[in-house]
């Protein structure tokens, strides 16, 4: 492997320059050796009769460019690569088309006006007047330039996602395309399935890393556990939805909170399934004549939903997170322990497990 030639080729295709730190990581070469190789290239280009030169932008960054004396005439012959900010605007036009210029300005800012003019002049987009704004769409030249076989919207969207991922990686893909992102904490991924939402981001919003905080910047709706809003709002200023997962009614309410983004067919099917399962457990609990003594509001809500009588002299029922406290107090009245933590099932299965534990526990107590 010729290291110098690889660095030369990389500078040639980069367009915006490269820093030695980045090259060092990719090629597993020390920064000092990279700087020596680039210095050697600079000297070689100075000796050659060529229209290109390598310049040092700062202590760590270098770029290959057309020599200033040739730049004007070269720009007339070959317009050159699309600069990243303009390419990002073009990506958004292609992905969201037809899109109004006004909407694009809302997403990208006032620089869009200059970008649109450049893209129109280069033949990549058409602009059609629409009231006080313009409607933007890509042209056949756009498809040809990017090697897209068809001008079909689906094909174009797939290609744009590929190009955008190359520019920004998976994490920044939504931001690059100007897509609104829904994010959930790991516990609530199954809620996305219930709603038929396939595009979302999973983030630990309770103790986020610096990368996760950065990834929250383009999230407009964040789903977290109930009671954590004040903590999460330190890192996130968008819409926070607190998810409850105690009863079947909670699950239905969670789905309805996402009615503006869910797939109605999938959501309706999920709600029907939830209602049927609730009726199953309610009917199963009808034969129980034992009273229960709930130790938390969560347990009280489940008992109320099952129409089980509540009394201070009933069977003690507590969630697992209260068990250590009860054991520490040497309580002999530990009847039924309801699992809440460490369950791998989705939300629906977790709720089912709570109901089953209470019903089966009370039935066993009755037979004693």
Give the pairing type, strands 181-184 and 219-225: parallel
Backbone angle region of 127, left / alpha / beta, with phi > 0 → left and psi within -120 to 50 → alpha: beta
* Whole-number Å distance between alpha carbons of 20 and 29: 10
User: Looking at the predicted structure, is the pLDDT value of residue 248 above 90?
Assistant: yes
Residue range 3-77 forms a domain whose CATH class is mainly alpha
Give 168's contacts (C-beta < 8 A, 6+ positions apart): 175, 176
On average, the pLDDT of the chain sits at 83
Scanning the structure block, which residue is given the tokens 């709600």? 271
* Residue range 103-114, pLDDT digits in tens: 888 777 788 888
Q: What is the pLDDT of residue 31?
A: 87
Q: What is the pLDDT of residue 367?
A: 46
SS3 labels along 42-98: HHHHHHCCCCEEEEECCCCEEEEEECHHHHHHHHHHCCCCCCHHHHHHHHHHHHHCC
Provide the percentage of residues in the chain whose pLDDT is more than 70.
86
Which part of the chain has CATH 1.10.10.10?
A: 3-77, 84-174
Buried b (16+ CB within 10 A) or exposed e, 283-299: eebeebebebbbbbebb
Q: What is the pLDDT of residue 368?
A: 44
Check: CATH 1.10.275.10 for 84-174?
no
* Residue range 312-364, pLDDT digits in tens: 999 999 998 877 655 545 555 678 999 887 545 689 999 999 999 999 999 98
Longest CA span, the chain:
99
* Whole-number Å distance between alpha carbons of 360 and 343: 18
């Amino acid at each position: 492997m010729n290291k110098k030639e690889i660095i030369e080729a990389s500078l040639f295709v980069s367009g915006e320059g490269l820093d030695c730190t980045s090259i060092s990581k990719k090629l597993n070469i020390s920064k000092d050796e990279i700087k020596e190789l680039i210095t050697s290239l600079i000297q070689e280009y100075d000796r050659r009769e060529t229209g290109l030169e390598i310049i040092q932008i700062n202590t760590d960054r270098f770029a290959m460019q057309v020599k200033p004396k040739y730049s004007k005439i070269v720009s007339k012959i070959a317009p050159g690569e699309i600069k990243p900010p303009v390419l990002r605007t073009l990506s958004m036009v292609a992905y969201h088309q037809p899109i109004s210029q006004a909407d694009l300005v809302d997403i990208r800012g006032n620089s869009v006006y200059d970008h649109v003019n450049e893209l129109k002049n280069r033949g990549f987009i058409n602009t059609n007047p629409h009231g006080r704004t313009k409607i933007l769409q890509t042209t056949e030249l756009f498809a040809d330039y990017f090697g897209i076989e068809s001008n079909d919207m689906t094909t174009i969207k797939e290609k744009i996602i590929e190009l955008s991922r190359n520019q920004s990686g998976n994490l920044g893909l939504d931001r690059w395309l100007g897509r609104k992102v829904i994010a959930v904490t790991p516990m609530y991924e199954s809620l996305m399935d219930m709603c038929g939402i396939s595009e979302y981001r999973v983030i630990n919003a309770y103790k986020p890393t610096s990368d996760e905080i950065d990834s929250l910047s383009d999230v407009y709706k964040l789903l977290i556990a109930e009671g954590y809003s004040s903590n999460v709002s330190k890192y996130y200023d968008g819409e926070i939805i607190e998810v409850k997962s105690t009863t079947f009614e909670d699950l239905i309410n969670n789905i309805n909170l996402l009615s503006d983004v869910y797939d109605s067919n999938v959501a309706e099917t999920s709600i029907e399934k939830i209602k049927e399962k609730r009726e199953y457990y309610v009917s199963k609990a009808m034969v129980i004549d034992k009273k229960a003594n709930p130790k938390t509001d969560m347990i009280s809500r489940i008992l109320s939903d099952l129409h089980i009588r509540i009394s201070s002299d009933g069977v003690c029922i507590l969630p697992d997170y209260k068990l250590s406290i009860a054991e520490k107090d040497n309580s002999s009245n530990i009847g039924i322990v309801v699992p809440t933590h460490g369950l791998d099932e989705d939300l629906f299965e977790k709720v089912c497990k709570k109901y089953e534990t209470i019903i089966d526990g009370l039935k066993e107590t009755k037979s004693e």
